[in-house]
Every structure is written in structure tokens, then in C-alpha cells.
Amino acid sequence: MKNIFAVAGVVIKELYRRKDFYVLFIVTILICLVMASVNIFNDSKIARYLKEICLLLVWISSLVIAVTTTARQIPAERENRTLLPLLAKPITRMQLVFGKFLGCWVACGLTLLCFYIFFGALSATREHQWPVLNYFQAGVMQWFMLGIVVAMSLLGSLVFAAPSSNSTICFIVIGGILFVGRHLDQVATSMHEPLRAVVNALYYIVPHLEFYDLRDLIIHNWPLIEWKYILLALLYATAYIATFLLGACLVFRRKPVN
């Protein structure tokens, strides 16, 4: 575990040395402040459009940070020729993969925390309430969704040739799941065999990231989701994270380090 934490620590330090997060965070703040300054029929209590824009930016920013940070981890180590000395130390390939995953996931969690604090403050200025538990549910769900994304990108970084191609493919897959993942079975019904069977199989195989998108519930002030469903969703995410990490370990085991 010590080795895993050591690798994770380096990844987290890398995140706060890079400018990605700061740029995205400042852009989010600026866009939200500009949108908040718009006068809509002299009513200063209108909040939901602002919450929607802010949450959309939080989602986009966190996905960009998760995918781009993860996609370059192992390829960068290989390119800089630091992978071989790293593995020469008493650290296994599996520990390296787990360490990289943990570092990226915790880094995503830290960025999410900053984003949600800003979001909470912004919405409190309009709605004069702070539904902490609702934000906690939304934040934790999004963090676990990012866990799946990080694990998937890590596996992709070992399969695809370059970080850029891995990032692009990951963004397409994530976007596809978020937009049509919920309706893939309905799409399949209008198709002919064997395509129908393929799409139906995809529906059951892909991780349903849309479960973790609680934006509508937060924007429109819906009550809390029952905790047992949150717990089940987190278990579902953990299963996919484990699957992707296992896949990454298996691929990395046979991968040449040079």
C-alpha cells in the first residue's frame, strides 16, 4: 500500500503543478459571474439557469481533467524513460497501475471539491439555502463516475498508441454513454439482426455513467435520493473500476517498458 500511496502522491503533486485545473476553474468562475450579471426582468432570485450552466461547466471541466491527466500518466513515464527506473525499485507493475489510478482519482476528487464549494456559494447567493446533503450525493456520485472514467482512460493509455488518440476515444465513448446510454435498448428495437443483438449487448456491457448525473435533481431542488440506491450505484461503479483496473494490469504485465 505504501508504494501505491507514494505513486499517487506524485500524481497529485503533478496536478497542482500543472495549469489545467487553474485555467478551467477560473474560466468556470468567469463564465458563471458573467451569466449571473445578466438582468432578467429585474428579478435577482432567478437561480436555476445559473446552476445549470455552472454544473455543466463543472462536468465538462472535471471530465477534461480526469481524461487528460490519466491518459498521459504511463505514456509520459515511458517517453521520459522514468518507467524502467521506477519499476527497478521494489514496486510491482500492479502497484504502479493502482498508484496512478488512485492519484488521478483523488486529484479529481480534490478538483470536484473546489468546484462544488464554488457552486454551493454561487447558488446560495441566489436561493439563500445550502442543501449540503444533496450536494454531497451529487459530488460523491460524480466522483465515482470519474473513477470509472479514470480507470477506463488508464486502460486506454496502455492499449492505444498515443495519449491524444486515447483521450479522443475516451471522450467519444463517455459522450456517447452520457447522451444515448440510457436509450440504447430502445435504439436497438428499431434495428435488424445482428446489429440489434450487438447494440443490446452494448446496452448491458457499457458502464451506465448517466446514473451518476444528478444535475436535474440539484438544479430543480428535488428531494434527496434514498441512500440505498446511492450505495448500489457506488457498488456498480466500483465493479466497473475493478474490471478496468484488472484489464489495465493484465495489459501492462505483457507490455515492454521501453
Partner 1 sequence: MNSPRTIVLLLIALLVFCFGVAAHLTPQFQTWRGSRAGGDIFNVVLGDSRRMFAQSFFVKADAYYHSGYYPTMFDNKEAFQTQHMAADTGAVSDKNHGDEESFLGPTRNWIDAFGRHFFPDRHTHLDEGGAGGDLSGSENVREILPWLKLSANLDPDNPQAYTVTAFWLRERMHRTAEAEAFLHEGLRNNPDSYDILFELGRLYYEGYHDAQRARNVWELAVRKWLALAPEDQKENKLIFEQITTRLAQLEADAGNVPRAIDWYHAAQKVSLTPDAIQQRIDELSKKISAKQP
CA distance 48 to 149: 28
Count of positions on this chain that bind partner 1 (CB under 8 A): 36
Residue whose C-alpha is closest to residue 97's, from 226, 37, 11, 187 = 11
- Least Å distance, CB 41 to partner 1, is 5
Nearer to partner 1, 36 or 94 (CB): 36
Residue list 101-160, contact with partner 1 (CB under 8 A): 141
**Which residue in 116, 119, 211, 240 binds partner 1 (CB under 8 A)?**
211
Phi (first) and psi of residue 248, to 5 degrees: -65, -40
Nearer to partner 1, 107 or 219 (CB): 219
Radius of gyration of the chain (CA): 20
For cell 502522491, what's the residue? 9
Within 8 A by CB and 6+ apart from 39, the residues are none
List the grid coordinates of 117. Answer: 464549494
| CA-based end-to-end distance of the chain | 26
Q: How many residues comprise the chain?
A: 258
Phi (first) and psi of residue 257, to 5 degrees: -85, -20
- Least Å distance, CB 149 to partner 1, is 17
Residue list 46-85, contact with partner 1 (CB under 8 A): 46-49
- Least Å distance, CB 187 to partner 1, is 8
CA distance 30 to 115: 13
Asked if 255 interacts with partner 1 (CB under 8 A), we say no
CA distance 175 to 239: 21
- Find the part of the chain contacting partner 1 (CB under 8 A) among 69-77, 107-115, 145-153, 214-222: 214-222
CA distance 130 to 112: 17
- Least Å distance, CB 47 to partner 1, is 7
**Which residue in 88, 128, 194, 204 binds partner 1 (CB under 8 A)?**
204
**Which residue in 16, 183, 197, 239 binds partner 1 (CB under 8 A)?**
183
- Find the part of the chain contacting partner 1 (CB under 8 A) among 17-25, 97-105, 162-170, 225-233: 225-233
Question: Can you give the binding site for partner 1, defined by CB under 8 A?
Answer: 38, 40-43, 45-49, 141, 182-183, 185-187, 203-204, 208, 210-214, 216-217, 219-223, 225-226, 229, 232-233
